[in-house]
Amino acid sequence: AIARLLDGIRARLTFVPEAEITLEANPGAVDAQHFAGYRRAGVNRLSIGVQSFRAAQLQKLGRVHDVADIERAIDTARAAGFENFNLDLMHGLPGDLPDDALRDLERALEYAPPHLSWYQLTLEEGTAFGRRPPPLPPHDRIAAEFERGCALLEGAGFQRYEVSAFAQPGREARHNVNYWAFGDYLGIGAGAHGKLTTADCLLRTEKRRQPAAYMKAALAGKAAGSSQRVESR
């Protein structure tokens, strides 16, 4: 499916040779067994949703992978030729004790990833945690833990270039940099948002959220959804 998607885009657009093509992947066996295929299809950067190296926390978060899956996923990604990859980690998790999240971070650094996303758990409306909020660590402890984590990453050669993204020099995610530099981006697919600068204004676009409704509209030539003019130039 990924190869078909990228081939279809290449048939209509010219990619610059250095284009960075990122795919988010879960560490579970289903994703990991396809890593080599993703690389052959043209994906050259993986973002692996680790979240935690602790089994109890993975279970609380409802993740389907375990710690062994994480290790296999990282090894499989490297074997498939992914020199550029990201590990996603959370901190401020339910029931966390002081230093728990830092141990997760130290474990991640053992794998020498070029990029780390280290972000605080937020409780979103409409989710299981939003409906039944779990006990979270105190805010002051989370803040202190984050400062210590930033120092740990800096000591390991990582640079913090946005709120929760840390990279080795030259390994910043290009899409992250583009967003933070207020660059333009296309939103393609159900629920996707985009930002486009035209000659006289700035447009925010949004596609239909429900996949079935999006597909029906797209096949009728009406995939654009809505757009909002937010700035005159």
Confidence of residue 129 (pLDDT cuts 50, 70, 90): confident
Taking phi over 0 as left and psi of -120 to 50 as alpha, with beta for the rest, 141 belongs to: alpha
Structure confidence by residue, pLDDT tens digits, 185-204: 999 999 999 999 988 889 99
Task: Give the residue-averaged pLDDT of 41-59.
Answer: 93
Q: CB–CB of 204/227 below 8 Å? A: yes
> pLDDT exceeding 90 applies to what percent of the chain?
75
Residue 30 pLDDT grade (very low, low, confident, very high; cuts 50, 70, 90): low
3-state class of 67 per DSSP? helix
* Residue whose pair of structure tokens reads 């885009």 in the numeric block: 9
pLDDT tens digits for 81-98? 999 999 999 999 998 888
Binning pLDDT at 50, 70 and 90, where does residue 230 land?
confident
Is the pLDDT assigned to residue 232 strictly greater than 70? no
Measure CA 201 to chain center. Answer: 29
* Residue 90 backbone dihedrals phi, psi, to 5 degrees: -110, 155
Name the residue among 177, 173, 209, 210 with its Cα closest to residue 192.
209
Amino acid 28: pLDDT: 83
Residue tagged 């945690």 (tokens): 129
Q: How far is CA 192 from CA 13, 126, 149, 218, in A?
A: 20, 19, 32, 13
Query: Rounded to an integer, what distance in angstroms lies between the CA atom of residue 22 and that of residue 111?
Result: 19
Q: Mean pLDDT of all residues in the chain?
A: 92
Hey, which bits of the chain come out as E strands? 22-25, 45-51, 85-91, 115-120, 159-162, 165-167, 193-197, 201-206, 226-232
pTM, two decimal places: 0.88
In whole angstroms, what is the distance from residue 20 CA to residue 44 CA?
6
In this predicted structure, the answer to whether residue 222 has a pLDDT above a threshold of 90 is: no
